[in-house]
Amino acid sequence: MWAMRGKARDRNAMTGIPYRQAIRNACAAFRKPPIRRQLMRFLEPANRHIDRVFIHSSATKAKMDIGRKEIDRWHRERGWSGIGYHLVIRRDGSTEIGRDVDTAGAHARGHNTGSIGVVMVGGLSDDGGSEANFTGAQFKTLRRVVDEMITTYPGVTVMGHRNVAPTACPSFDVLRWLKTGEVEP
Ligand SMILES: [Zn+2]
């Protein structure tokens, strides 16, 4: 029994730990890294079969700090039901949930069934070419997302959009990055 008795500075008779410290320890034990908290819903296993995760770029310039809201609008303008990706990794490495993982995405033509689409914001140079201009924070988040996907969907294959279509997307070689951590165009 973890009764709250006495003053915060008093010590627990059994452990000798001050109450205030004990409360702090208990809180720390339950504190998840923020990225995981943002991803909670996304990390719940989808109620459809998932065997592939596709990484995309938003094909926007590095200085464009856009996110779910803008991409959702662009995709609606194309006549889609809303954002085609399931997860957005913004320039600062934070995440935003896109389409519900229970619903097939609209991100890789012919490959949307059984897959999840993750988009990294960026990927376009100032002169409009493909450029691996993502931030370190974005790659750090992507690594965590990939790790979580592998845990959530054992046997899942993670790849770039370019691995199934004639496109430069996502502006870097995902398979090489997964293996070596190097970012190659
Ligand atoms: Zn793509």
- In a domain, residue 123? The reply is yes
Report the separation in Å between the CA atom of 109 and the middle of ligand 1, taken as the mean of its atom positions: 9
Q: What is the CATH number of the domain that holds 164?
A: 3.40.80.10
Determine what percent of the chain is predicted with pLDDT higher than 90: 76
* Angle at alpha carbon of residue 85, lines to 166 and 109, rounded to 5°: 35
| Structure confidence by residue, pLDDT tens digits, 87-97 | 999 999 999 99
Residue 102's pLDDT is what?
95
Q: How far apart are CA 146 and CA 148, in angstroms?
A: 5
> Do the domain assignments include residue 29?
no
In a domain, 91, yes or no: yes
Q: What is the mean pLDDT of residues 133-150?
A: 95
Task: For residue 129, give the nearest of 62, 56, 174 by alpha carbon.
Answer: 62
Q: Residues within 5 Å of ion ligand 1 by Cβ?
A: 56, 161, 169
Which residues span the domain enclosing 85?
34-180
The residues pairing with 54 across neighbouring beta strands, listed in sequence order, are: 117, 159
How far apart CA 2 and CA 19 sit, in angstroms, is: 10
* Domain contains 9: no
What is the 178 CA–ligand 1 centroid distance (Å)? Answer: 17
Domain count, the chain: 1
Domain-located, residue 1: no
Phi, psi for 30 (deg, rounded to 5): -95, -5
Entry pTM: 0.82
Q: What is the pLDDT of residue 43?
A: 85
In this predicted model, what pLDDT tens digit does every residue of 3-41 receive, in sequence order?
A: 445 555 677 676 676 766 666 666 555 554 567 777 877
